[in-house]
């Protein structure tokens, strides 16, 4: 059995050290996903996906019809149950070699950051928000210009034929502004969905009530590749809190307003009754 130790990552958490045999057994029995989980060990300068390491190319996970030998499962379970926390591993390695480079300890976070931001094309959340804000300002400005400037000029001209022509041009301009704004907003949304590793068909959720709030949260708050790694950073958590408060306010505000209106009407009705009784 090899004495070399390996580390692996699942859902952004580093696990290990384990031996090569235990790691291979865990892969073979489906405890580790070769296509998404990361691994680091002897001969590797950085964290890579499991399926990229030749030494870890094992057979596909066994099905329920052919259960693994009890000894292999017990070995893998007992080894993984005794996994040392990352902080203790770092301390032990520092004690063994105080001159060791800290780059290996930071490589996992660097690899995760690369997966979240560097490997996903498309528009990030900040760019998506800013471009939509610019589009909104430009659209509103164009509409105001057409309605106020062009409309006011045509009214001041006082020529009936000219007024009709300019009115038609103004309506055509408004239609063009709306079409351009809609097309650009769809392009921005498709680019953002690609950055989130989501299908562009998810854009259809924007036409469904309640579901469109969920989609807006995904597109504004979640980092790149969120649909795959499901890791939410600090900015995403802050945006999530704002969306939760928005939903609560959307539910509570109408109830409070209707309640206030109801009690105000009751109070006015009571005052009228008192005035009628006093006048009799």
Count CB atoms within 10 A of the CB of residue 251. Answer: 9
Sign of CA dihedral 60, 65, 71, 76: positive
Sign of CA dihedral 58, 44, 99, 111: negative
Task: Give pLDDT tens digits for 14-23.
Answer: 777 888 888 7
Q: Is the pLDDT of residue 248 over 80?
A: yes
Q: Kindly state whether residues 62 and 159 are assigned to the same domain.
A: no
Q: Kindly state whether residues 258 and 218 are assigned to the same domain.
A: no
Task: Give pLDDT tens digits for 32-66.
Answer: 888 778 888 887 878 888 788 887 777 655 444 44
Task: Choose the final residue of a domain: 68, 101, 118.
Answer: 118
Angstrom distance (rounded) from CA 111 to CA 178: 43
Q: Kindly state whether residues 21 and 86 are assigned to the same domain.
A: yes
Backbone angles phi, psi at 182, to 5 degrees: -65, -45
Task: Give pLDDT tens digits for 204-233.
Answer: 999 998 888 889 889 998 998 888 888 888
- 194-198 mean pLDDT: 90
Task: Give pLDDT tens digits for 149-191.
Answer: 766 655 555 544 446 667 777 788 889 999 999 999 999 999 9
Please give the span between the terminal C-alpha atoms of the chain, in angstroms, as a whole number: 105
Q: Kindly state whether residues 9 and 114 are assigned to the same domain.
A: yes
Task: Choose the final residue of a domain: 102, 118, 134.
Answer: 118
């Amino acid at each position: 059995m090899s004495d070399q130790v390996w580390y692996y990552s699942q859902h952004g958490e580093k696990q290990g050290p384990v031996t090569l045999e235990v790691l291979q057994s865990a892969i073979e029995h489906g405890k580790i996903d070769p296509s998404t989980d990361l691994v680091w060990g002897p001969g590797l300068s950085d964290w890579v996906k499991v399926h990229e390491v030749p030494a870890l190319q094992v057979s596909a996970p066994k099905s329920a019809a052919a259960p693994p030998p009890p000894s292999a499962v017990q070995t893998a379970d007992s080894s993984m149950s005794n996994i040392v926390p990352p902080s203790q591993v770092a301390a032990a390695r520092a004690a063994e070699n105080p001159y060791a480079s800290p780059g290996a300890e930071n490589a996992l976070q660097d690899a995760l950051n690369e997966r979240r931001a560097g490997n996903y094309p498309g528009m990030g959340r900040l760019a998506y928000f800013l471009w939509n804000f610019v589009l909104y300002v430009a659209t509103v400005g164009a509409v105001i210009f057409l309605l106020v400037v062009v409309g006011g000029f045509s009214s001041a001209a006082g020529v009936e034929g000219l007024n009709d022509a300019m009115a038609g041009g103004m309506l055509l301009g408004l239609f063009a502004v709306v079409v351009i704004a809609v097309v650009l907003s769809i392009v921005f949304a498709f680019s953002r969905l690609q950055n989130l590793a989501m299908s562009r068909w998810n854009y259809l959720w924007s036409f469904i009530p309640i579901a469109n709030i969920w989609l807006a949260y995904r597109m504004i708050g979640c980092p790149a590749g969120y649909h795959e790694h499901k890791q939410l950073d600090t900015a995403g958590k802050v945006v999530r809190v704002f969306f939760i408060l928005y939903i609560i306010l959307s539910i509570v505000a109408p109830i409070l307003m209707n309640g206030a209106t109801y009690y105000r009407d009751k109070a006015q009705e009571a005052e009228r009754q008192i005035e009628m009784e006093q006048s009799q």
